[in-house]
Amino acid sequence: NNLSIFGRDINTGMPRNAVIYGKDITSSLFPLFNAVADAIKVILERTPPSMTGNVLRNGIYLTGGCSKINGCVEYLQNELRVAINVTENPLTCTCSGARILANSIKAKNNRRKNNE
């Protein structure tokens, strides 16, 4: 994907348009992708062997805005040699999960208070 942008040329001060190519943006994001891959590697190295099989069978579920960037999933799959799955709603699923967990904890605490 390409994007046409308009602005002022800082050298001439004149209005100018330019095209930004998607491949240029993606290649500039490789350091970000690499940092994500390194963080995942650290987590996998600390993962108990009993859980490693699950990761190999089911892959890794990627959430957040990074998962929506063209080239990110492919980069991580190549770097980690593990299937990368993007969640259904990557921008909101972490918040939704945190809300469910918070409600569950609240309900558990309320039951505990009622039983006392």
Q: Which residue in 21, 19, 10 sits closest to 70, CA to CA? A: 21
Residues 59-98: tens digit of each pLDDT: 999 988 888 888 899 999 999 999 999 988 888 888 888 8
Q: What's the whole-model pTM score?
A: 0.67
Q: Which residue in 111, 110, 69, 105 sits closest to 86, CA to CA? A: 69
Contact indicator for 82, 56 with CB cutoff of 8 Å = yes
Measured between alpha carbons, how far is residue 41 from residues 8, 26, 44, 50, 52 in Å?
A: 43, 22, 5, 17, 12
Residues 9-27: tens digit of each pLDDT: 999 999 999 998 888 887 8
The domain covering 2-115 belongs, at the CATH homologous superfamily level, to ATPase, nucleotide binding domain (3.30.420.40)
The residue behind tokens 């063209």 is: 70
Domain ranges of the chain: 2-115
